[in-house]
Structures are given as structure tokens and as C-alpha cells.
Structure 1
Amino acid sequence: MAQIVPVNTRQDIFPQYLDTPIGNLIEYHNFNKHFESDKKYEHAEILIGMCMDNRKRLNIPEKFAYVIRTGAGNLRTSEFKVSYAVAVGGVRAIALIGHNNCGMANLKAKEQKFIDGLVEVGWDRQAAQDHFNHFAPMFEIGNELDFVLAEAKRLRQRYPRVLVAPMMYRLEDNRLYLLKEETGER
């Protein structure tokens, strides 16, 4: 199990992330590091994978990052886009940002609401049920923390020379947190 680590000062940023795009992301978002005093970005330095949830917004400068927003920040179905950002865009850092109270956690509990919502906008009930049954297993994440850690591990295996940082965003305070992994991986 990982430990969620608050990042309240620059010294709280893990050494492997200091003076990297991951550290810059944290400084921009958590510490309101001023954009104009920093360099102007000509190209993205980082890929940020985060949830499409409308309760989250990052404080980052223009051209600093590619951002892929999907349910739960699940990049499994965006693999080509990740590869593009790495191969063509030249990014060498990925911030994978999960958040608490994610709608993709425990999808089964939301099944009836999902189906009823589609029926309300004109779907046939059986088609809505089939739609849920087909896609829910692909997008179910289980526990948010466990998912972010597993996805970070998968991305590290896929892109071994790219720095991958699993993080959490807490909706209560709109701050980024680092995850201290027990496995000893980077």
C-alpha cells in the first residue's frame, strides 16, 4: 500500500522529481509558482494523465504539458496518444493524477443510474444495459489509489526511460499529493 504524502514546501517534493517537469508541475499547482518569471515553453515537457472530472483544474502555464483527460485518468485506452507525446512530442515525464471520490470507482453501484440516464435521453433500455455491460469492465478502476499505482507501474514498463509519477488530487483542498510507494520503484 502506498502512502499519500502532502507537498506543502519545495522540500516535500521527492528528490527524484526535483528540478524535473514533475517538480515544476507541483510548484506551479501547489505553490502558485509564477508563470511569467519562469521560461516560456516552446513545447510540452510533460504528459499529464488525469480524470475528466469537472471538479479538478490544474494551475500550469501554456505549452507546458500535454493533458489527456479520461475517466479516472485511465490511459489504457489512450496508449497511442501517450506514445505520440513521448515519441513525437519528446516528453520524458508523465504525471498520472488520480483523485478521491472518482466516479469510475465502483461502477457496478452506479449501473442503474447509468442505464436510467441513457433511457431518459432516448436509449432503448436493453441497449443501455448492453452498453454498460460491455464497457464498465474496461473502465472500472476499483480503488483510486490502487489504480493509480498499477497504471504507473504499467506505464513504467511500457516506457522505461520516462519518469512516471503517481499522484493524487484531493478535491477538498485542490492540491496535488505524491504517492510514496513501498515497492522501492522510482
Structure 2
Amino acid sequence: MGHEEGFSKNIADKLVGVESKEDIFQQYRNTPIESLFLSHNMGISKEYSSAELLVGMCMDNRKQLKIPSNFAYILRTGGGNLRFSEFKVSYAIGVGGVKAIALIGHNNCGMVNLISKKDRFIRGLVENAGWDAERAEEHFMNFAPMFEIDDEIEFVLSEAKRLRNKYPKILIAPLMYNVEDNLLYLIKEI
């Protein structure tokens, strides 16, 4: 795979396409991360009786994983930001027994440059939810800074680093989803 459609060149240069098992980074071989790639990108899956993986991904409706039943816990939040879902992450690890986390960012994420969406956000809450404009603006200003993402890849990498520090025995894989071809990609960590 070359520079994949849908990714800017600076993003594409940091990604590795996965078309076969051999394309998967060594540290993810024979792990739930490998199973995720085999299932989603290649359509190869098996049956699971319990979850092996926690997936943290964006709530964006353009992304749908092709995975078998019972394979993964899935937390969907704006930008795949798990900072405010740590109890749920801990539950999947402590009670669910997962040993790996896939953090999946994607191109064209709505959490990038949130300030440019402020007026639309306010107007949408006024028109669709019946809020007054002042309340909607206050809501935006209180929460947008917590969810703003500057760069999709850098955010996924920093979130992976943060979670690795918090859960040192858990395998954490920062990945990207291309909304143009619906495939997962590995991120080169340098």
C-alpha cells in the first residue's frame, strides 16, 4: 500500500498498511491486535467466548469495525479520547480480563479544530435541542477544550503513552482508521 487515499502525505508517511499477517508489527503478532487486523482488514476471524480486547475509538458514524461477537469491549467517544472513561477501561481490564487495548484514531476527525464548529454547534443545540444560545455557547466553551484534538496521529500516540504509564502490563496499540477505504493501519512510533 502506498500513500492511502484520504490521508494527507504527512499522515500517510507515519502509517503502515496491513494486507497480510506479515505486515503486522512483531510486537502485535499472536495478540488480540493481530486478531483485530485479521478480522477487520482481511475477514479472517474465529469465535470468542469472552472479550480479549478493549477498543477505544471515535464515535464517528463513518467507522464500523468488522469483528466477531464477544471479541472486544468497545468505548466510543469524541476523538477516541479515553481520559474521561478510565473507570470503564479499568473495568474491562480488572473484571473483563482484557490484556490489550487498540486506540483507533481516524482521518477527518470532527474533534480536530473544534473552534471552527462553534457557531454550528450552538445553532444546532438551539434548533435541535431547544437550548437558548447563551446556554449552548457556555456548554461549548466549557467542554470543547477537553475534547479538542490538534492532530489525529499525535493524539492517538500521546493517549497510548498516557495509558501505557497507567496500565504498564497492558499491550496498547495506537492505530488509524481510514474513512475512505474502511481499513485499519499501524502507526510508526518513533
**TM-score (norm: length of structure 1):** 0.93
Alpha-carbon distance between aligned partners in 2 of 1:111 and 1:66, rounded to the nearest angstrom: 32
Percent identity over paired residues? 61
* Equivalent residue letter for 2:181: D
Q: Residue in 2 aligned with 1:151?
A: 159
How far 1:162 moved relative to its partner?
0.2
- Equivalent-residue separation in structure 2 for 1:41 and 1:6 (angstroms): 26
Matches of 2:97 and 2:132 in 1, distance apart?
Answer: 45
In the alignment, residue 102 of structure 2 is paired with which amino acid?
A
Distance in 1 (alpha carbons) for counterparts of 2:119 and 2:15: 33
1:66-81 residue pairs with structure 2 within 5 A?
66-81=73-88
Give unmatched runs, 5+ long, in structure 1. Answer: none
Paired residues for 1:1-186 under 5 Å: 3-33=14-44, 35=45, 38=46, 40-121=47-128, 122-182=130-190
Q: How far 1:98 sits from its partner (Å)?
A: 0.2
Partners of 1:163 and 1:30 lie apart in 2 by: 20
After TM superposition, which residue ranges in structure 1, 4 or more long, deviate above 4 angstroms? Answer: none
Structure 2 distance, partners of 1:42, 1:158, is 27
Distance across 2 between alignment mates of 1:161 and 1:153: 13
1:167 alignment partner AA = L
Q: Hey, what's the Cα distance between the residues in 1 that align with 2:150 and 2:131?
A: 27
d(CA) in 1 for partners of 2:181, 2:90: 32
Deviation for aligned residue 1:9 = 1.3
Quick one: distance in 2 between partners of 1:12 and 1:155? 25
Q: Normalising to structure 2: TM-score of the pair?
A: 0.91
Structure 2: distance between partners of 1:156 and 1:102: 23
Separation in structure 2 between the aligned mates of residue 70 and residue 93 of structure 1, nearest angstrom: 18
- 1:11 shift after superposition: 0.6
Structure 2, unaligned stretches of length 5 or more? 1-9
Shift of 1:104: 0.6
Name the count of aligned residue pairs.
Answer: 178
